[in-house]
Structure 1
Amino acid sequence: MAIGAGMSCVKYLLFCFNLLFAITGLIILIVGIKAEINSSPYIDLTDENFYTSGPIVLIIVGVIVFIVAFFGCCGAVRENHCMIVTFSVFLLIIFLAEMAVGIAGYMKHQDLETSILAHLNGTIKEYDTNKDVAKTFDIIQTDFNCCGINGPDDWKANNISMPATCCSGQEITGGVPTPCTPDTFGFHKEGCLDKLVVFFKDTALVLGGVGIGVAIVQLLGVIFACCLARSIRSQYETV
């Protein structure tokens, strides 16, 4: 069934947009996976659910975008009203999900420092008695080259010996690392709190930026799809 020249242009623009959607879906998927992998060792340090659900939402959205792009391409090429409407509805749902992730990303980073500080202060006392707590602190101090919460003195304040992970490149004697002291080469003088806050804020801003940026582009796709669907329906009604 033929449609007008103007709507024919919209049809091909919609087809091109779907190729773009496939690319944005891949971008969303990669960003979500990368955020999930990078955040997983430290995710228990904050009570903000966004850092658990945000990357997962983007991963799911990235996969769905490929399916939605298929409906959009087929609907545009075949001028199928039902497929285009299905495409528009799916794309609108994705748009809302991405906007939600984007807004949450910008909102949640405001209370991040308080959440992390409360968790670290509540668990540092368990370093010698809780293997999971010890593992978390050791990973943080190794990955971020830091020591303690606000600084190395936090360990002494909690009557805990300086962990070996407060030093980098320690020598191994008899299978045991040499003691870590402020005079040890590679001693981490900075606390971990500031570095963790920067890490999580950067993650939130990336998730938020990608979510909002892609959502705006996809909103254009919804508009084009609605115009094309309306044109096709009008053609049916005039026949």
Structure 2
Amino acid sequence: MVCGGYICTKNALCALNILYVLVSLLLIGVAAWGKWFDLVSSIRVVAAIIGVGIFLFIVAFAGLCGTLKHHQILLFFYMMILFIVFIVQFCISCACLALNKDQQNHLLEVGWNKSDATQQDIEKTLNCCGYSKVDYTGTCAASCFKDPSPSCVTCSNIILEYAGDVLRFVGGIGLFFSFTEILGVWLTYRFRNIKDPRSNSGAFL
């Protein structure tokens, strides 16, 4: 069977969905590991990562089942969901790559103000206090704040130093996976319209 036929397309779709299953399990495992070792105390952050992992696992599992059984309905819904995910992920990836310093600072400050648990995680990990100014009359999870003569830097100084590189990395990874998703849409569309050579030649699949 030449590449582009039934078997080749089926194997390519199976490999793609197995990759998505592994990525979803990695996301769930990393979130659980971070919570277990108390690296991330924010329940919302952990829940969001696990939620994305579970969603990806369900989509990939449906795609894998649809591919193995050549199930038209499963493949159709898999193709539609994958296309929607592609559009959303492509837009977010482009936004990450296009943000300038002022926009990065604004978004980071908004995210900082939304969660006290996230603030504590960042202060503890980066050894900094406050976002744009240090309040020595308040509380801080950083070790520098517990010194007899505390002299902490603001977290924005540290975060913004690496924010551009992180956003470019996240945007690049997201862009790469978005192209694998559009490849999955194309393969699924092609696979749905190929007859199984082992079936009855007169049967419609």
TM range (shorter): 0.5 to 0.7
Aligned partners of 1:22 and 1:236: how far apart in 2? 32
Q: Give the drift of 1:33.
A: 5.8
1:110-149 aligned within 5 A: 110=99, 111-117=103-109, 133=116, 137-149=119-131
Of residues 149, 155, 163 in structure 1, which corresponds to 2:135? 155
Of residues 37, 62, 65 in structure 2, which corresponds to 1:67? 62
Matched-pair contact (CA < 8 Å) for 2:89–2:174? yes
Q: 1:217 to 1:149 in 2, by over 3 A?
A: closer
Of residues 121, 124, 149 in structure 2, which corresponds to 1:181? 149
Match of 1:96 in 2: 84
Matched-pair contact (CA < 8 Å) for 2:18–2:60? yes
Match of 2:17 in 1: 21
Q: 1:140 to 1:211 in 2, by over 3 A?
A: closer
Unaligned 5+ residue runs, structure 1?
Answer: 45-50, 76-82, 124-131, 171-178
Matched-pair contact (CA < 8 Å) for 1:84–1:225? no
Secondary structure of 1:167 counterpart: helix
Q: Give the drift of 1:20.
A: 3.0
Larger radius of gyration: 1
Matched-pair contact (CA < 8 Å) for 1:69–1:87? no
Q: 1:203 to 1:25 in 2, by over 3 A?
A: farther
Q: TM-score, normalization: structure 1? A: 0.56
CA displacement 1:122-168 (0-9 Å, x = unmatched): 79xxxxxxxx84x65443221111133245xx315xxx157473518
Aligned partners of 1:141 and 1:42: how far apart in 2? 17
Matched-pair contact (CA < 8 Å) for 2:83–2:181? yes
Matched-pair contact (CA < 8 Å) for 1:162–1:180? no
Q: TM-score, normalization: structure 2? A: 0.64
Match of 2:166 in 1: 202
Residue 191 of structure 2 corresponds to residue 190 of structure 1: no
What's the C-alpha RMSD, in Å, of the aligned pairs?
A: 4.3
Matched-pair contact (CA < 8 Å) for 1:15–1:72? yes
Q: Number of residue pairs matched?
A: 189
Matched-pair contact (CA < 8 Å) for 1:28–1:61? yes
Q: Give the drift of 1:13.
A: 1.4
Matched-pair contact (CA < 8 Å) for 2:89–2:178? no
Matched-pair contact (CA < 8 Å) for 1:85–1:225? no
Match of 2:74 in 1: 86
Percent of aligned pairs sharing the same letter? 14
Aligned partners of 2:27 and 2:167: how far apart in 1? 10
